[in-house]
């Protein structure tokens, strides 16, 4: 199956192509397997950016 979407399975810590695992176990979708393999780093970066935006908004 080639869906063009890649997911990171948080339980197995494996990259999957397509919606193989239950939604609660997945992070994504990502455009490539390489990107999906960095799911935790991407999530951490996005959280830090969102936290900074919240701090800036609170200052206004």
Model confidence, pTM = 0.81
Token reading at 8: 């990171």
Q: In this structure, are strands 14-17 and 26-30 parallel, antiparallel, or unpaired?
A: unpaired
pLDDT (mean) for 39-48: 97
Query: In the chain, what is the greatest distance between 2 CA atoms, to the nearest angstrom?
Result: 49
- Tens of pLDDT along 8-36? 999 999 999 999 999 999 999 999 999 99
Reply yes or no on whether the pLDDT at 58 is more than 50: yes
């Amino acid at each position: 199956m080639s869906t063009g979407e890649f997911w990171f399975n948080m339980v197995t810590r494996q990259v999957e192509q397509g919606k193989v695992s239950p939604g609660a176990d997945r992070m994504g979708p990502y455009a490539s397997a390489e990107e999906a393999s960095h799911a935790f780093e991407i999530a951490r970066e996005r959280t830090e950016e969102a936290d900074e935006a919240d701090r800036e908004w609170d200052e206004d």
